[in-house]
């Protein structure tokens, strides 16, 4: 009776566990806190949660550096706390996706401890080791996303090791079959514990070029900052050999086969500013690969307009027509979109309504349902190594990682009873708390609930095909169809009122609860600022 297709069109709520709810008063969010807040999450109407890493970790990259894949970091709780997350979520009808960071481990992982000891141990080839060039410099020119060479010299082993991210995040060697087997066992472990799927970190970094060829330079006009801020020289290189290797697909097929009996779904994170959608096409191309890839198109850059939204959707159709994107506006790595695009409340409403209607699944990042802006974090409070590296040109990722605000009459916004929290709660966030918005019928939180419910009420919006996304001035519009249901959607993506001809044929206006316009007597739609129009074919 399990629905293998549950992920298609799902709304996934992303939890950054350090900052969701602290249940034991140490100033850090934890799994017990998630259990406490699950009724709230269920009240949003989301299908699933994605929990950022809670595994054993020295926390150099706040959990994206794992030292034991099959245990919970004591900071976050225990395996039985995790079981409580799963059972509570399932009882509320919410699925659980966990964040598997398989491309690299922490340098504190026992596998690395063994591997680094010498060149002959059992795990000698579990990481990517290479000799220095004759002059002692790294084996090639590959760069790390977090700054500098992607190679770190190791005195004991007298070799360099590869790290695409922090020095303390050595890359696993996916060319070693035993590594792949060990990682598939990790997936099996969690599937047996009841998880419904995975968010897979950086799936396009799994394999590397075995010959370790130098990456070519990227022409200046192609350097953009989707994956890393523009101050980072990483953007000056085309990562031809350090990522996107065709053999990634072989591993992903094995992983999918492991997931299949559990009806589990994966959303693969593909970090590539130039070829992201092309790679999405490759990685979601068949039933034996990823169900979804995470789309970066709305996670950086200028505020999307009717035209750029139509362009993105067209590129998805061209590159990944048989695949399925998972959209997001905000996450734990980027500036919150309320600030990044400087959006007024009406625009925040329009953007989430749009996301609920686009072909694809959708990720909502904790706090965006409250309209939280990016928090200002002072240099003294900074925690993110990526921010510390490039400060002040790039202030890092702490501004989107500050604690959730639950109630404004409470110390630390109801997040924690500790004297001090790991990142300070933003004062600007306080009056936007969940409790404040629950009491205010006009609050954004209620709009998020209604927009999610609207999608769930219409299979065409969740699972349907579309006839191509088009734009006319500031209006973006399209039609979605599933089985016998056909829905027309139009959105005025601007401050300026706009007229638009009503679609031909017989239609019934729907979605008035999320602001849908009505067709006027002259057969036109008069769309106010940021106003949508929705209609179902009769």
Query: Does the footprint of ligand TEU cover residue 172 (CB under 6 A)?
Result: no
Non-local (6+) Cβ contacts of 498 within 8 A are 473, 474, 475, 492, 527
What is the per-residue binding string for ligand TEU in 203-242, x denoting contact by CB under 6 A? ------------------------xx--------------
Binding site partner of 225, from Ca ion, ligand TEU, none, Cβ cut-off 5-8 A by kind: none
Select from 22, 73, 107, 201 the one that contacts ligand TEU (CB under 6 A).
201
**Residue 522, CA atoms < 13 Å, CB-side half-sphere:** 6
- What is the three-class DSSP state of 127? strand
* Residue in the block written with tokens 């799902």: 10
Of 317 and 417, which CB lies nearer to Ca ion in the complex structure?
A: 417
Q: Considering CB distances under 5 to 8 angstroms, the limit depending on partner class, which of ligand TEU, Ca ion, none binds residue 227?
A: ligand TEU
Compute the least distance from the CB of residue 385 to ligand TEU, in Å: 9
**Residue 209 is a catalytic residue:** no
Active-site annotation holder among 30, 201, 272, 474: 201
269 classed as catalytic: yes
| β-strands 11-15, 361-365 pairing | parallel
In the complex, the residues that contact Ca ion under the rule CB under 5 A are 22, 24, 26, 28, 30
- d(CA 185, CA 180) in angstroms, rounded, equals 9
The backbone torsions φ and ψ at residue 160, rounded to the nearest 5 degrees and listed phi first, read -90, 150
Distance CA 389, CA 398 (A): 13
Q: In the complex with ligand TEU, which residue's Cβ is closer, 239 or 332?
A: 332
Which of 324/365 has CB closer to ligand TEU?
365
Considering the candidates 22, 61, 269, 374, report the single residue annotated as catalytic.
269
Residue 197 near residue 290 (C-beta atoms within 8 A): no
Give which of Ca ion, ligand TEU, none residue 30 binds (C-beta under 5 to 8 Å, depending on kind): Ca ion
Q: In the window 93-152, what residues touch ligand TEU (CB under 6 A)?
A: 101, 145
24 binds, among Ca ion, ligand TEU, none (CB under 5 to 8 A by kind): Ca ion
507 binds ligand TEU (CB under 6 A): no
In the bound state with ligand TEU, the residue whose beta carbon lies nearer, of 24 and 108, is 108
Cα torsion 372, 378, 379, 384 to 10°: value is: -30
Radius of gyration of the chain measured on its C-alpha atoms: 23
Long-range contacts of 74-77 (CB under 8 A, 24+ apart): 75/26, 75/28, 75/30, 76/17, 76/28, 76/29, 76/30, 76/31, 77/30, 77/31, 77/32
**In angstroms, what CA-CA distances link 476 with 11, 177, 351, 428, 533?**
22, 48, 12, 33, 11
Q: How far is CA 85 from CA 48, 81, 198, 522, in A?
A: 12, 6, 15, 54
Instruction: Give me the helices (H) in 59-176, please.
Output: 79-91, 110-117
Least distance between ligand TEU and beta carbon 401 (Å): 9
165 lies in the binding site for ligand TEU (CB under 6 A): yes
Write down the least CB distance from residue 202 to ligand TEU, Å.
5
Contact 283, 244 (CB under 8 A): no
CA–chain centroid gap for 21, Å, is 20
Stretch of 114-122, 155-163, 330-338, 422-430 lying at the interface with ligand TEU (CB under 6 A): 330-338
> In the bound complex, which residue of the shown chain has the CB atom lying closest to ligand TEU?
271
> What distance in Å separates the CA atoms of residue 527 and residue 518, rounded to the nearest whole number?
9
Spell out, one character per residue from 269 to 308, where the chain touches ligand TEU: x when CB under 6 A holds, - when not.
Answer: --x-------------------------------------
392: cis peptide before it, omega within 30°? yes
Tell me the CA distances in angstroms from 18 to 53, 357, 389, one per residue in order: 9, 31, 22
Answer whether 183's CB lies under 8 Å from 102's CB.
yes
Query: Please, which residue, 41 or 299, has the CB nearer to ligand TEU?
Result: 299
Q: Which is nearer to Ca ion, 24 or 108 (CB)?
A: 24
CA distance 314 to 273: 17
For Ca ion, the closer of residues 174 and 415 by Cβ is: 415
Q: Is 202 in the site for ligand TEU (CB under 6 A)?
A: yes
Question: Does residue 55 touch ligand TEU according to CB under 6 A?
Answer: no
Interaction partner, residue 201 (ligand TEU, Ca ion, none; CB < 5-8 Å by kind): ligand TEU
From ligand TEU, Ca ion, none, interface partner of 333 (C-beta below 5 to 8 A by class): ligand TEU
Q: Which stretch binds ligand TEU (CB under 6 A): 5-13, 88-96, 332-340, 513-521?
A: 332-340
| Binding partner of 228, given Ca ion, ligand TEU, none, CB within 5-8 angstroms per partner class | ligand TEU
Minimum CB–partner distance for residue 174 and ligand TEU (Å) = 15
The partner in contact with residue 145, picked from Ca ion, ligand TEU, none with C-beta cut-offs of 5 to 8 angstroms by kind, is ligand TEU
Structure tokens, 262? 């559990």
CA 468, CA 13: separation in Å to the nearest integer? 27
Identify which of residues 61 and 368 has a Cβ nearer to ligand TEU in the complex.
61
| Binding-site ranges for ligand TEU (CB under 6 A) | 61, 64, 101, 145, 165, 201-202, 227-228, 271, 332-334
Q: Hey, which residues are catalytic here?
A: 201, 269
């Amino acid at each position: 009776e399990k629905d293998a297709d549950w992920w298609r069109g799902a709304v996934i709520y992303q939890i950054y566990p350090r900052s969701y709810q602290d249940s034991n008063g140490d100033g850090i969010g934890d799994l017990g806190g998630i259990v406490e807040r699950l009724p709230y999450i269920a009240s949003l109407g989301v299908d699933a949660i994605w929990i950022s890493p809670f595994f054993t970790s020295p926390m150099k990259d706040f959990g994206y550096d794992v030292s034991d894949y099959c245990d919970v970091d004591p900071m976050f709780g225990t395996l039985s706390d995790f079981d409580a997350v799963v059972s509570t979520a399932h009882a509320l009808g919410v699925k659980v996706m966990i964040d598997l960071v398989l491309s690299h481990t922490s340098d504190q992982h026992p596998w690395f401890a063994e591997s680094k000891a010498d060149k002959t141990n059992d795990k000698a080839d579990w990481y990517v080791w290479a000799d220095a060039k004759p002059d002692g410099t790294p084996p090639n020119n590959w760069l790390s996303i977090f700054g500098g060479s992607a190679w770190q010299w190791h005195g004991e082993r007298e070799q360099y090791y590869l790290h695409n991210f922090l020095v303390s995040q050595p890359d696993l060697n996916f060319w070693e079959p035993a590594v792949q087997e060990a990682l598939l066992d990790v997936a099996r472990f969690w599937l047996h514990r009841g998880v419904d799927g995975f968010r897979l970190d950086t799936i396009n970094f799994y394999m590397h070029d075995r010959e370790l060829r130098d990456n070519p330079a990227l022409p200046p006009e192609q350097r953009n900052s989707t994956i890393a801020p523009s101050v980072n020289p990483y953007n000056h290189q085309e990562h031809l050999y350090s990522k996107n290797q065709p053999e990634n697909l072989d591993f992903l097929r094995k992983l999918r086969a492991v997931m299949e009996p559990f009806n589990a779904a994966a959303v693969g994170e593909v970090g590539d500013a130039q070829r992201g959608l092309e790679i999405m096409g490759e990685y979601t191309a068949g039933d034996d690969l990823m169900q979804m890839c995470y789309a970066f198109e709305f996670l950086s850059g200028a505020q999307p307009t009717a035209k750029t939204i139509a362009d993105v959707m067209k590129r998805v159709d061209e590159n990944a027509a048989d695949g399925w994107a998972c959209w997001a506006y905000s996450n734990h790595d980027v500036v919150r979109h309320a600030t990044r695009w400087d959006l007024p409340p009406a625009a925040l409403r329009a953007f989430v309504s749009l996301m609920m209607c686009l072909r694809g699944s959708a990720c909502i990042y904790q706090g965006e349902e409250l309209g939280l802006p990016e928090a200002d974090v002072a240099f003294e409070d900074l925690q993110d190594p990526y921010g510390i590296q490039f400060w002040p040109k790039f202030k890092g990722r702490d501004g989107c990682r500050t604690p959730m605000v639950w109630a404004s009459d409470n110390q630390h916004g109801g997040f924690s009873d500790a004297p001090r929290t790991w990142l300070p709660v933003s004062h600007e966030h306080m009056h936007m708390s969940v409790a404040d918005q629950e009491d205010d019928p006009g609050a954004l939180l209620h709009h998020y609930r209604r927009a999610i419910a609207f999608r769930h009420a219409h299979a065409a919006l969740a699972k349907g095909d579309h006839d191509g996304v088009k734009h006319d001035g500031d209006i973006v519009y399209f039609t979605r169809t599933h089985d016998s249901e056909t829905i027309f959607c139009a959105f005025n993506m601007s401050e300026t009122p706009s007229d638009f001809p009503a679609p031909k044929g017989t239609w019934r206006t729907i979605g008035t609860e999320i602001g849908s316009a009505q067709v006027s007597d002259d057969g036109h739609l008069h769309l106010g600022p940021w106003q949508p129009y929705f209609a179902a074919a009769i």
